[in-house]
Structure 1
Amino acid sequence: MLNVNSENTRSLGRRGVLALLGGVAAAGLLPTQRARAEGTSHSVLAFDGDALVVAGEQVWRFDPSGDAILLPAPRSPIRALACHPDRPGRLFAARIGGGLDLSGDGGRTWAGTSDGLPLAQVTALAIAAGAPDTIYAALAGDGLWRSEDAGTNWSFVMDRPWLAEAEREVLTLASVNLASGMGGIWIYAGTDQGVTRVPDCFCRWQDVVAGDAMDALVAGTPRALEAPLPKGEPVRALVSAHSAPDRLYAALPSGLWASTDGGVAWENRSSLHAQALAVDSTDPDHIAGAYNTELKHSRDGGATWATLAAF
């Protein structure tokens, strides 16, 4: 049963309450509930432990118990969101217009943590797999920055990817702990030309390849893939599964794609045109997705989807 704080409910009004219910449905708490309103803005999603956080112009937190909490509005709408499954409650949010905020209590309070970053739009965020204090931020027109102390200090680590004869903006980021790479950590970037990646030595962006990735990086002669992710399409969302490090999901205009081998081979799972994705930290088959006016979820790795809310 959904429990909504009465004070928050009075302040939300009809559209806000309906959006709140829709977000709860996206977390899988109300599988038959549908919500409608006159309009909504694009939202970003992230699982914080076993709760789902939905952020945009407002921020909601949906707990598995059924409680739905409308959190204090951010200083400006949120463009990107990241949280680490091994550090529940710690959230990073990139604000539209520039700036980065950190929450240590699951989004209830926020503080700026972008000192040292250039004054540019943060287009994507990822927290390093296996390292909750390390966060990567992609900046428009600039490149990839890293903080190893939870956002207190930042350093530039990598230029933007060079794809199809031009530098490309990073639209989405994912950090994956694989059995190859310098320390096993790879940073995957979704661009308007597909997916590329770099090991955490930040030596060079490279296409995802078959075989020994580090050998291919040194040799510069990767083996061709038999089932690559389509190139030339913008990657709107890219997420990795914490409990299954080789599992990746990508949202493209051609649909929802999935890889079970770290991005070497991809399968088109459905025609869902998602703009945001999130994966349950304990169940790699449980995905939440958002597209324009709909929230959906899948419990079979993206093969089938249920519409949970329509705004």
Structure 2
Amino acid sequence: MRAIVHSTTRAAWGFCVLTLAIVLPALAQAQPADDAHPVTALTINSSGALLVLQDSDLFTIAGGTSTKIALPATDQGAQPTFLARGVDGSVYLAGPGLGVWRYDSASESWQSLSNTLPNLGVTAMAAHATQPETLYAYLGKDGMFRSRDGGAEWVKVDSGPREPVQAFLHSDMPGSMDSGWLFAATTRGVSRSMDCFCFWGDAGDLRGTVSAIGYDPAAPENVYAVIEGQLHHSADGGETWTSLKTPQSVTALAFSPSQGLVVGTANGNLLARGAADEWTPVHE
């Protein structure tokens, strides 16, 4: 009798294992592809390591190791949505309800730079390409503000483009009457102005809501913009644009000294563009 029971139990166990072997892969394949959280913003720190903002979490990625950085304590409802890197390596964080913050790597803490802003509704920010103390913040209907002392005092300098700004950058591309150019990602396309704020005009005929924008600091004429997940490139400072194929929908971009153009995707992945225009995963 014991032999019969043992044989029956073993057969039942074998059936369960076989069933799990069949069912579990099917369940895994049935999981939605968008379970991962999209990459919100990207930049690099003073050491050249990637900084990744994802689902209100901030990580630094270096040497294949991912390390979480605690975000500043803020009121509920604040949305960290922008990262920027100053020419001196300083890292800045901003977003609606958050204002502007600078990270102190020595003390591993955040310093608020929003005391003289009219409110905390920062919807975009950028750091000057060559002046470490000059920062820009866009506050929607309140316009564009500039600080020339590292965020201690902010002064309104412009109303910004006619369309709402989703993101923007400062570039030291040649040809400006002052110290560089501002490229704004708007709901109509890419807008461009010298940083003397003389005039905002269309940067080419790229149309659509631009959700992210970036440029190559080593070759400032190379500007990149994202519309509905599609990456576009201009090799002439925004005069003309071409579409670049990417394996996944793009949500953020940055330039790494070692990896070149790196994009964050809607699937939560990081991809680097190689010399032959192929995309390879950035291993965390």
Shorter-chain TM-score category? 0.7 to 0.9
CA distance in 1, matches of 2:71, 2:38: 14
Q: Could you say if the C-alpha distance between residues 179 and 119 of structure 1 is closer, same or farther in structure 2, counting changes exceeding 3 Å? A: same
**Could you tell me which amino acid in structure 2 is paired with residue 45 of structure 1?**
L
1:81 aligns with 2:110: no
C-alpha deviations, 1:237-259, integer Å up to 9, x for none?
10011111111111112611111
Q: Give the whole-Å Cα distance in 2 for the aligned partners of 1:273 and 1:302.
A: 20
> d(CA) in 1 for partners of 2:59 and 2:157?
33
The answer to whether residue 225 in structure 2 is matched with residue 250 in structure 1 is: yes
The superposition leaves residues 196-226 of structure 1 with CA deviations (integer Å, 9 ceiling, x where unpaired) of 1111111221123xxxxxxxxxxxxxxxxxx
Are the structure 2 counterparts of residues 265 and 87 from structure 1 closer, same or farther at C-alpha, using a change threshold of 3 Å? Answer: same
Q: Greater share of strand residues, 1 or 2?
A: 2
What is the TM-score with the length of structure 1 in the denominator?
0.71
Match of 1:139 in 2: 139
Written as runs of structure 1 = structure 2, the 5 A alignment for 1:266-305 is 266-271=241-246, 272-280=248-256, 282=257, 286-300=260-274, 303-305=277-279
State the one-letter code of the partner of 2:209.
P
User: Whose RCO is larger (CA < 8 A, sep 6+)?
Assistant: 1
Gaps of 5+ in 2: 1-32
Structure 1 unmatched ranges of 5 or more: 1-35, 163-167, 209-227
CA contact (8 A) 2:143 2:156 kept: yes
Give the counterpart of 2:197 among 193, 202, 220: 202
1:308: how far off?
5.3
Instruction: Please tell me whether the aligned partners of residues 286 and 301 of structure 1 are also in contact (alpha carbons under 8 angstroms).
Output: no
Name the residue aligned to 1:60.
Answer: 59
Q: 2:157 maps to which residue?
A: 157
Could you say which residue in structure 2 is the equivalent of 1:93? 93
Structure 2 residue identity aligned to 1:243: A
Q: Give 1:108 shift.
A: 2.8
Q: How many percent identity over aligned positions?
A: 27
Larger Rg: 2
1:245–1:253 distance in 2 versus 1, CA, 3 Å:
same
Secondary structure in 2 matching 1:141? helix
Q: Does 2:238 correspond to 1:263?
A: yes
Which residue identity lines up with residue 58 of structure 1 in the other structure?
D
In the alignment of these two chains, the number of paired residues is: 245
Contact 1:254 1:273 in 2 (8 A): yes
